[in-house]
């Protein structure tokens, strides 16, 4: 009996030690206890450029579905200029770590993305980068749990509409 109690105490001690270092995260994910990537709930994604957007010039916009949680911190800290400079290298280095929905939009244009481009993807987060000519972060974190996503591209900045009611950056 004492031997069984000793083994049980040792097992509990080991489990407590491992829980602190994340060694059990794989097991937690298997039984549904850990966070997991999700599919975007967006029924539609729309980009609308104001007539004077980006000093009346075409604008590259990427919606990035981040599939690797290790990439999220570094991408969240990048300005759009830095992201667009590193995009090809990121895609080569982390081919399964992100999905990029790339769009080029001209002032006054309205674009709706085809849902097939993002519906089956699972992501930890979604970020939008707009490659404006003027300096600035030009980066937004998009909520994955909203029914729609509208990016309004204004003269010198952009905003996400249809995302009310969530804290920017929350996946679920």
Stretch 25-29: mean pLDDT: 45
For 71-129, what is each residue's pLDDT tens digit? 999 999 999 999 999 999 999 999 999 999 999 999 999 999 999 989 899 999 999 99
Residues 6 or more apart in contact with residue 153 via CB below 8 angstroms:
47, 48, 49, 50, 53, 54, 59, 61, 105, 130
- Verify that 56 and 26 share a domain, yes or no: no
- Verify that 78 and 6 share a domain, yes or no: no
The answer, yes or no, to whether residue 170 has pLDDT greater than 50, is no
- Verify that 94 and 12 share a domain, yes or no: no
User: What are the C-alpha distances in Å from 28 to residues 23, 68, 112, 122, 142?
Assistant: 10, 17, 38, 18, 26
Token digits of residue 9: 């105490």
How much of the chain exceeds pLDDT 90, in percent? 70
167 falls within a domain:
no
**pLDDT of res. 19:** 44
What's the farthest any 2 CA atoms get from each other in the chain? 80
pTM: 0.76
- Verify that 139 and 104 share a domain, yes or no: yes
How many domains does the chain contain in total? 2
- Verify that 4 and 63 share a domain, yes or no: no
169 falls within a domain:
no
**pLDDT of res. 127:** 98
Token digits of residue 149: 């996503």
- Verify that 28 and 89 share a domain, yes or no: no
C-alpha 10/C-alpha 27 separation (Å) is: 19
For residue 92, the domain's CATH number is 2.60.40.4150
The answer, yes or no, to whether residue 58 has pLDDT greater than 90, is yes
The answer, yes or no, to whether residue 32 has pLDDT greater than 80, is no
142 touches 163 (CB < 8 A): yes
Q: What is the mean pLDDT of the chain?
A: 83
40 touches 121 (CB < 8 A): yes
104 falls within a domain:
yes
Domain extent at residue 70: 44-161
- Verify that 55 and 137 share a domain, yes or no: yes
- Verify that 54 and 29 share a domain, yes or no: no
């Amino acid at each position: 009996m004492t031997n069984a109690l000793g083994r049980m105490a040792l097992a509990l001690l080991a489990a407590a030690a491992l829980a602190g270092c994340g060694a059990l995260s794989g097991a937690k994910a298997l039984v549904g206890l850990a966070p997991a990537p999700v599919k975007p709930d967006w029924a539609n994604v729309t980009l609308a450029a104001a007539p004077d957007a980006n000093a009346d010039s075409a604008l590259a916009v990427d919606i990035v579905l981040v599939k690797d949680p290790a990439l999220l911190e570094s991408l969240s800290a990048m300005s759009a200029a830095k992201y667009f400079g590193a995009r090809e290298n990121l895609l080569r280095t982390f081919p399964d770590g992100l999905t990029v929905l790339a769009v080029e939009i001209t002032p006054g244009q309205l674009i709706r993305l085809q849902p097939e481009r993002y519906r089956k993807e699972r992501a930890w987060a979604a970020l939008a980068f707009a490659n404006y000519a003027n300096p600035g972060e030009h980066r937004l974190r998009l909520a994955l749990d909203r029914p729609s996503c509208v990016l309004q591209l204004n003269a010198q900045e952009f905003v996400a509409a249809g995302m009310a009611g969530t804290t920017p950056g929350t996946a679920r």
